[in-house]
Amino acid sequence: MEIKQIGVIGAGQMGSGIAQVAAQAGYSVVMMDASDSQLDKGIERIQKNLDRSVEKGRISVEKKVEILERIGTTSKIEVVAADSDIVIEAIIENIKVKSEVFRELDVHCPSHTILASNTSSLPITEIAAVTKRPEKVIGMHFMNPVPVMKLVEVIRGLATSDDVFHTVHDLAVQMGKQPVEVQDFPGFVSNRVLMPMINEAIYTVYEGVATPEAVDQVMKLGMNHPMGPLTLADFIGLDTCLYIMETLYEGFADSKYRPCPLLRKYVKAGWLGRKSGRGFYVYE
């Protein structure tokens, strides 16, 4: 399969990042979001990222203009679906919302179009089941921030064909990423390993073992992590961390994935991390 045009559903941090790296790789991109203001913010975010690349001498001004010209926007799902060879969904981490989007994409996309989800923990097989093309549904889990992070987890659903897997694997390489094949289990590899570590770090604060600063210092200085787990949790968003832990807990029915009560408490209080101005740390 040859990929010429890429559709992206969602103009948030992940969606705009995916649109940017796709355009940088030379693909025509249509980025869709139901909110016009979110589309404007997405394009603005891409422009700022490219401006930084120009300042650092990584790309020329002419190259920046070329990249931006490859990105179109729309608020209509039928427009993003019409001519795309692959559509990558990057919206809220909610199985009902994602399934509805895939159901609509299945109706509006040409028969050859691959449907990919940037989900960080939800089952690809379940998402694929709402379509009439489960063999063409796959996971492409990019890391945040997308323009910087190299990894893409490529997740096969139960019915994903070999042709689709290899096409998406090669697409990730063309986008400058390092694809890693992962099977369809809750949390895949990245979040199945990362989130319980973050959850356990929260437990150490909850049980009074150490302060957030101390926990992060131990992991940075003792384990050579570039960022402590609680700083990382604030960066990801504590609501997102809780949602993924709940997905793991429900998916495996194993008590080791039980979310820490302190994590639930912070989310209920609206202390979501950087995006809300307060989590385990306070942000000005």
Domains of the chain: 5-183 (3.40.50.720), 191-274 (1.10.1040.10)
The distance from CA 269 to its chain's CA centroid, rounded to whole angstroms, is: 25
Give the per-residue pLDDT at 131: 98
Determine if residue 217 is labeled as part of a ligand binding site.
no
**What amino acid positions are annotated as catalytic residues?**
120, 141, 153, 191
Reading the block at residue 281, the tokens are 């740390």
Beta bridge partners of 82: none
Determine if residue 100 is labeled as part of a ligand binding site.
no
Find, among 170, 160, 182, 173, the residue nearest to 116 by Cα: 160
Determine if residue 26 is labeled as part of a ligand binding site.
no
Determine if residue 162 is labeled as part of a ligand binding site.
no
Give the per-residue pLDDT at 208: 98
Give the per-residue pLDDT at 122: 93
The distance from CA 17 to its chain's CA centroid, rounded to whole angstroms, is: 9
> How many other C-beta atoms are found inside a 10 Å radius of the C-beta of residue 32?
27
Determine if residue 23 is labeled as part of a ligand binding site.
no
Determine if residue 10 is labeled as part of a ligand binding site.
yes
Each residue's pLDDT, cut to its tens digit, for the chain (284 residues) gives 899 999 999 999 999 999 999 999 999 999 999 999 999 999 999 999 999 999 999 999 999 999 999 999 999 999 999 999 999 999 999 999 999 999 999 999 999 999 999 999 999 999 999 999 999 999 999 999 999 999 999 999 999 999 999 999 999 999 999 999 999 999 999 999 999 999 999 999 999 999 999 999 999 999 999 999 999 999 999 999 999 999 999 999 999 999 999 999 999 999 999 999 999 999 98
Determine if residue 48 is labeled as part of a ligand binding site.
no
Determine if residue 94 is labeled as part of a ligand binding site.
no
> How many other C-beta atoms are found inside a 10 Å radius of the C-beta of residue 143?
16
Average pLDDT score over the chain: 97
Determine if residue 174 is labeled as part of a ligand binding site.
no
Establish how many alpha carbons lie within 13 A of residue 161's alpha carbon, considering only the half-sphere containing its beta carbon. Answer: 11
Give the per-residue pLDDT at 179: 98
Give the per-residue pLDDT at 284: 82
Find, among 34, 31, 26, the residue nearest to 45 by Cα: 31
